[in-house]
Amino acid sequence: MGGFEIIESPGAPIKAWTRGVPIEESAMKQLRNVASLPFIHKHVAVMPDVHWGMGATVGSVIPTVGAIIPAAVGVDIGCGMMAVRTSIRAEHLPDSLAGLRSAIEAAVPHGRTDNGGRNDKGAWAAEPPALAADKWAVLKPGYEAVIAKHPKAAHQRGFGHLGTLGTGNHFIELCLDEEGRLWVMLHSGSRGVGNRFGSYFVELAKRDMRRWFINLPDQDLAYLPQGSEGFTDYIEAVNWAQTYALANREVMMDQVLGVLRQAFPDLATTETAVNCHHNYVAREHHFGKTVFVTRKGAVRAGEGELGIIPGSMGARSFIVRGKGNADSFCTCSHGAGRAMSRNEAKRRFTVEDHVRATEGVECRKDAEVIDETPMAYKDIDAVMAAQADLVDIVHTLRQVVCVKG
């Protein structure tokens, strides 16, 4: 399969790698709204995991000249994946994995933030680990430079959230590959501080649109023009948050490997797949011009570049190698993509359904994670087939432990 289809649009062309994968009408409308903007470069690329998002769809690639849309980058700036292969094999694992799951949950704070208050169970209760402290020492001056100009973008728990998971679809997993080797894979972003930065600049862009009387098909497509003070400051803030997100995943990975070393003292890491963003903006060269490429729920897949495409709590995940497809702006999907809203999943499925779908995976099996049940996501095999000309599969992983926020 693979290959793109053209979605009819009154604006820039829309090239969609969605053969055999449904797209809901609300997402189609958003794609056409984005394509109608005057600063789109060449076309909009759509990945097979596409679904409705704030302003722009998740699973879209938006190349722009002279402007950036903060809501298209989103508020989980730098959200992405990290995976490491270890020397542990399937036969080394205990019959019950509950103890490993509990130890990981104890080693990495997870759960919902309360905007930096004292009851923030998603932050470190005590001092963060030494690696987090070292990374924060490097990150702190950049943070202070941003909030010196924009004090309302400040967040109290930048240090306290470094090396923490968060909630929603963020996860830590232990997986086995096709040869029975154990991988650690995790998914998170820039946590509360990135959310604050993103939310602040989304509102700043909206205020500018109102001040300049610019009408948009969706207010969440408010943009910052290149050359404006807001644009320059946003670039500084978003670059900082993306660096923070990389560091956040590195600290979490170190904590999880520490747990595994307690059970397996001879543990070694034998391959690092990648530490990659899938909600971010970057300057890249495409079709003869240097542009800003916003990947909202999409992973860079340049020729030879490794990436990670997770399935869901009960579906396979993949380590992939990019093919450098120019029409996709060298991009692939960031996962299976939601097939329905969180509320619809909670309405439609029961705990019993979720238990059956996650059989063989040591994970939460209660009502609070029904919105993340595998049936709430698209068929990962169909998603992978639709992007066969974007990536090659290097490793196929199946989860044995999953920690959710």
Instruction: Report the catalytic residues.
Output: 334
For the chain, the residue count is 405
**What ranges in 23-155 are assigned the alpha helix state H?**
25-35, 70-73, 98-107, 130-149
Neighbours of 179 (CB within 10 A): 9
| Contact residues for 403 (Cβ-Cβ < 8 A; gap 6+) | 101, 104, 105, 108, 110, 165, 171, 172, 173, 363
The encoded tokens of residue 180 equal 């029975």
What does the alpha-carbon distance between residue 401 and residue 184 come to, in Å, rounded to a whole number? 10
Identity of residue 327: D
Place of tokens 């998170």: 188
Residue 5's nearest CA partner among 327, 278, 247 is 327
Cβ atoms of residues 245 and 188 within 8 Å: yes
What is the helix (H) or strand (E) element at residue 352, kind and residue range? helix 351-357
Least Cα distance to 199 among 75, 77, 112 occurs for 75
HEC-encoded secondary structure of 207-222: HHHHHCCCCCCCHHHC
Cα distance between residue 238 and residue 197, in whole Å: 8
User: Beta-carbon neighbour count of residue 298 at 10 Å?
Assistant: 30
The answer to whether 68 and 281 are in contact (CB under 8 A) is yes
Token pair in block for residue 246: 């990389």
CB atoms < 10 A from the CB of 288, how many? 8
Contact at 8 Å (CB) between 85 and 91?
no
CA-CA distance, 172 to 190, in Å (whole number)?
A: 15
Q: How far apart are CA 55 and CA 74, in angstroms?
A: 9
- For residue 225, which of 37, 68, 70, 33 has the smallest C-alpha distance? 68
Q: Cα-Cα-Cα-Cα dihedral of 152, 132, 85, 75, to 10°?
A: 0
